[in-house]
Structure 1
Amino acid sequence: MFRAMIAASLLGLAACSPVAPPAATPPAPPAGLRLVDYAHEFDAVLQTEADASPDRQLSALEAHFADTLPGFYGSERFGDRAEAADRFRADVLSRWPEKREAALAVADEFADRFDQAIARFEAAVGPLPTERPVYLLMSLGEFDGATRDFGDGENLYFGADAISQYYPGASTMPFLQHELFHLYHSPRMGECPEIWCSLWSEGLATYTAERLNPGASDIELGLHLPEPIRPALDPRRREAICEVRSRLDATGSEAYNPLFTGMSGEATRFPARYGYLVGLWLAEHLGEGHDLSEMAEWHGPELRQRIVAGLAAMAECP
């Protein structure tokens, strides 16, 4: 989510999109949606290299994970941004001792609550795909949650270090279930670059996390980054809804970034990532009388009609 977008700008990556796969291919893990925990293994490597320079530590991580996460800690996948990426990640490693405790606490909670998160999700929404593992690691600030393709297909990865930084003191359950929803929902939505698709995907994922975790805070729902969104948007609800409505069929980063990332170059009247909250309002409005499993199946022209009608009912626009 947010961290993936910011780090993407720094590292020259497309946010939450697959990167070029490295030459090697990791061994196929056993079937079944399960958590593969490399976060604690990361810490063990750094403990043995505690006195080494960040560059040496990065090399040690690349060598240690060469078979299980081929290329992830290397530079090759960043192309002509490799030098900047190494500087960025060396800086993260230099601060690891002060960040270690919080990052490991997130990793522990993920490991403890992963099966529970899946059970609650599947009971309310539906069965998750079982052919892919979910990876937990330390992403060196690259992302909190993202999909990546390292030669064995697109998988879901969580960066415990980034989560600990951007969701301090918060339960990881809503964030985890938000990302699980994308795993479930993306095949149902299909390829759709228009803003209305992103509005629905992100809004419904946030709504799912809210429904599955009654009382979840805005921090736990990701509505606090880079600044709290709700306090700035609530007084301007109609304006924000109308602005989104005017962009529904737009495509490309100029339309997408102000709504869903912290990387907008546009002078905007609304807080960064305000599309998440407008999408949540929309899902709350359309969700009356419908369960999550039903809403997750909506797609195509019928869904677009629902969105247009829902926004029109929520605000009278010029």
Structure 2
Amino acid sequence: MIRALAAAAVLAIAAPAVAQEAPAFTSLTQQFDDFATETAAMPMPERVKRFRERFNALLPGFYAPRNGATEEQYNIKVGRNLATYPAQRDKFLAAARDFSAAYVHGNAHFRRYFPDYAPVMPIYLVHSLGEMDGGTRDIDGKTVAVFGADVIAKIHDSTTIGPFLDHELFHFHHARYFSDCEAMWCALWQEGLATYVAGRMNSTEDDKTLMLTIPRPIRPEVEPKLAEAMCYARPRLDSVDPEVYASFFYGNGKSPYPPRFGYYLGYLIARKIGDGRPLDELAKMPGDQVKPLIEKALADYHCPPAA
């Protein structure tokens, strides 16, 4: 993550810890387990219908189709997750149980670097139906922070949970200072910077720790053709096409590069911009300052003229 870790350590000296409670979060994991257990013998169509009624009341707008999915496709996904839950139940409940302690520790660690951290959005721990380990969602014009205990149980362990929380808490913090936009360059900066900051906070460049190995290692496939990948990104910086976004940031994105390769490109760009700058300065950079820096970082890669 940082070419000169010794120098970075000086630049990222943590502020003294502040004795402050972690922001509260609402857990819906027990409600999910209760529902799955109580309705196990119910016919699936009725079970799915009741699930959506109950959980839409608990977290309105989250358990609904997105990214072009139909109601029928979403209901199939709900049914599939309910059907496979018994085999995953023990790991799910363990992840939900362990999250509280990890979250308190993660908040204390994060505030050593960002003492003014104070998220302005509600935070939930849920069964995400396989959608996410953590992130934000815009629902009915409001931003909500969500942790998915089901995905955390599948992909995180004691070596990654701390940096993962640093990454996600940085998103929550960054949202106070960086105005979101639909253009691809915004996501490149937001995801790349969160990955870079997590590395600085943990003095690591390890790809597994930084979640750059999901669903498979990204760096080994991108590095041999890095200039090509950066040149692929350059003309797409202003794109608002959801398919372009998916090609960079989704696990099943369609591009000439590995799934989620946008996280790696964004990380490299954030490293170019961030090395030598305090973390707090990076968190508070406005978009009109960031975009020219991204373009400058990309200009280092000599791209052929556009056809």
Change (3 A) 1:238 1:198: same
Secondary structure, aligned partner of 2:70? helix
Which range is displaced more, 293-302 or 43-52? Answer: 43-52
Change (3 A) 1:63 1:201: closer
Q: How far did 1:263 drift?
A: 4.5
8 A contact 2:207–2:213 mirrored in 1: yes
Q: How far did 1:46 drift?
A: 2.7
Of 27, 49, 64 in structure 2, the residue corresponding to residue 37 of structure 1 is 27
8 A contact 1:282–1:310 mirrored in 2: yes
RMSD across aligned positions (CA) = 3.1
Which range is displaced more, 284-293 or 299-308? Answer: 299-308
8 A contact 1:223–1:276 mirrored in 2: yes
Q: Residues 72-111 of structure 1 correspond to what in structure 2 (within 5 A)?
A: 81-111=70-100
8 A contact 1:138–1:159 mirrored in 2: yes
Change (3 A) 1:109 1:81: same
Other-structure match for 1:284: 271
Q: d(CA) in 1 for partners of 2:179 and 2:87?
A: 42
Gaps of 5+ in 1: 1-31
Other-structure match for 1:201: 190
Other-structure match for 2:289: 302
Secondary structure, aligned partner of 2:175? helix
Q: Determine what percentage of the aligned residue pairs are the same residue.
A: 35
Change (3 A) 1:191 1:284: closer
Q: d(CA) in 1 for partners of 2:203 and 2:43?
A: 45
Other-structure match for 1:155: 144
8 A contact 2:136–2:146 mirrored in 1: yes
Q: Which amino acid aligns with 1:198?
A: A
* Mapped pair 1:246 → 2:235: yes
Deviation beyond 6 Å, 4+ runs, structure 1: 75-80
Gaps of 5+ in 2: 1-21
Change (3 A) 1:143 1:233: same
TM-score, with normalisation over the residues of structure 2?
0.79
Other-structure match for 1:3: none
8 A contact 1:196–1:248 mirrored in 2: yes
Other-structure match for 2:59: 69
Q: d(CA) in 2 for partners of 1:116 and 1:213?
A: 14
Of 184, 199, 203 in structure 2, the residue corresponding to residue 210 of structure 1 is 199
Secondary structure, aligned partner of 1:136? strand
Q: How many residues align?
A: 284
Secondary structure, aligned partner of 1:156? strand
Q: d(CA) in 1 for partners of 2:302 and 2:140?
A: 48
Q: How far did 1:174 drift?
A: 2.1
8 A contact 2:136–2:144 mirrored in 1: yes
Q: Which amino acid aligns with 1:248?
A: L
Q: How far did 1:306 drift?
A: 1.7
Q: Residues 109-128 of structure 1 correspond to what in structure 2 (within 5 A)?
A: 109-128=98-117
Change (3 A) 1:279 1:79: closer
TM-score, with normalisation over the residues of structure 1?
0.76
